[in-house]
């Protein structure tokens, strides 16, 4: 039996929502798992990458054995029903840029889990899949929208469960994803974050999260401009993302721009704007990075409302 699962890219944090806000985007990885019949072959993992967005150096970061995160996710699912994985061939068709802050790791975790769940006859429900995916990934902000789609606020509870709710992102607000040519590993981006933060910074972000939810629900642009500010992660990551501060400054005076934030741990940047003057917004980002000799790809997306889905069961 062979199962293929298509999983969207995701962006997380979106300003104030550190480790709890995530959004699915229409860029995809496809994970295929096939049960092989040759005993003793173990696990085989192959990655087929879109050359436009992934280079050979990127692929060197992906373990091709039982240490792979996709295999760890599959193994946890099998173990949860008292089984161990048989000989498996796992193929990842990669279209999501690796180590850019667009949920590439979450996508393969989710794709592997859902494909394995199909192979096993769907013993795990959504709650179990969310819990296992978060256990592997470490936080729910990417894996939750990867599974359920849309803009999601989520929480990893003490019992291992995930509580989430979807928010309706306004159609009038476009997401422009700006992906620089260089990588930034999540481990490095997390290493610069402090273990403790000042109480006033925690309060600041709590205020902004409340503003964010209200701004989305009421399509309030002025409130969203305030809501996208953050003191928990972006100030510490500025030095790891050349050009971010200058891009934000250069976009500040564009009336159509609502905000500019890191995508996940970076280095990709999200520009949230209205539909007018989009070409000018993109030009400002490209010109700013060009001054630093950084090439970038820019994509303007709607929110992907659908999460991962099986696209082939043979």
Residue 234: both structure tokens together: 């972006």
**Per residue in 126-155, pLDDT tens?**
999 999 999 999 999 999 999 999 999 999
Whether residues 16 and 136 share a domain: the answer is: yes
Phi, psi of 169 (to 5 degrees): -65, 130
Helix 140-148 vs helix 104-119: crossing angle, to nearest 10? 50
Whether residues 99 and 26 share a domain: the answer is: yes
Whether residues 124 and 207 share a domain: the answer is: no
Amino acid 52: pLDDT: 54
CA distance 90 to 45: 5
Residue 189: both structure tokens together: 């981006």
What's the pLDDT band for 227 if we cut at 50, 70, 90?
very high
Whether residues 193 and 246 share a domain: the answer is: yes
**What number is the average pLDDT over the span 221-243?**
94
pLDDT at 48 over 70: yes
Tell me: cis bond preceding 146? Omega within 30 of 0 counts: no
Whether residues 11 and 114 share a domain: the answer is: yes
What's the pLDDT band for 235 if we cut at 50, 70, 90?
very high
Whether residues 231 and 251 share a domain: the answer is: yes
Whether residues 163 and 29 share a domain: the answer is: yes
Whether residues 162 and 187 share a domain: the answer is: no
Whether residues 281 and 136 share a domain: the answer is: no
| Residue 210 domain boundaries | 174-301
**What number is the average pLDDT over the span 257-262?**
95
CATH number for the domain harbouring residue 179: 3.30.70.890
Rounded to the nearest 5 degrees, what angle is found at the Cα of 114, between the Cα atoms of 266 and 52? 40
Whether residues 184 and 258 share a domain: the answer is: yes
Q: Which residues contact 69 (CB under 8 A, 6 or more apart)?
A: 63, 105, 108, 109, 136, 137
């Amino acid at each position: 039996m062979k199962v293929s699962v298509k999983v969207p890219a995701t962006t997380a944090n979106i300003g104030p929502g550190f480790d709890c806000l995530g959004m699915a985007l229409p860029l995809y990885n496809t994970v295929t798992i096939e049960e092989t019949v040759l005993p003793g072959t173990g696990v085989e993992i192959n990655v087929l990458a879109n050359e436009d967005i992934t280079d050979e150096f990127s692929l060197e970061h992906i373990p091709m054995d039982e240490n792979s995160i996709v295999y760890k996710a599959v193994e946890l699912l099998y173990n949860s029903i008292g089984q161990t994985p048989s000989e498996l061939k796992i193929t990842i068709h990669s279209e999501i840029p690796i180590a850019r802050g667009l949920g590439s790791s979450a996508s393969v975790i989710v794709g592997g889990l859902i494909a394995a769940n199909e192979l096993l006859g769907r013993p795990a429900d959504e709650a179990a899949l969310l819990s296992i995916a978060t256990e592997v990934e470490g936080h729910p902000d990417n894996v939750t929208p990867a599974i359920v789609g849309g803009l999601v606020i989520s929480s990893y509870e003490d019992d291992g469960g995930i509580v989430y709710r979807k928010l309706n992102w306004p159609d009038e607000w476009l997401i422009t994803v700006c992906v620089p040519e260089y990588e930034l590993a999540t481990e490095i981006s997390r290493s610069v974050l402090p273990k403790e933060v000042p109480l006033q910074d925690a309060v600041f972000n709590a205020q902004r999260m409340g503003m964010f939810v209200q701004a989305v629900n009421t399509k309030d642009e002025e409130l969203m401009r305030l809501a996208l500010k953050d003191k928990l992660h972006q100030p510490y990551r500025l030095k790891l993302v050349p050009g971010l501060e200058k891009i934000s400054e250069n976009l500040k005076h564009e009336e159509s721009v609502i905000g500019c934030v890191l995508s996940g741990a970076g280095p990709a940047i999200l520009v949230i704007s209205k539909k007018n003057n989009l070409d000018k917004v993109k030009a400002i980002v490209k010109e700013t990075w060009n001054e630093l000799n950084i090439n970038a790809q820019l994509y303007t997306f709607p929110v992907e409302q659908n999460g991962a889905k099986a696209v082939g069961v043979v």
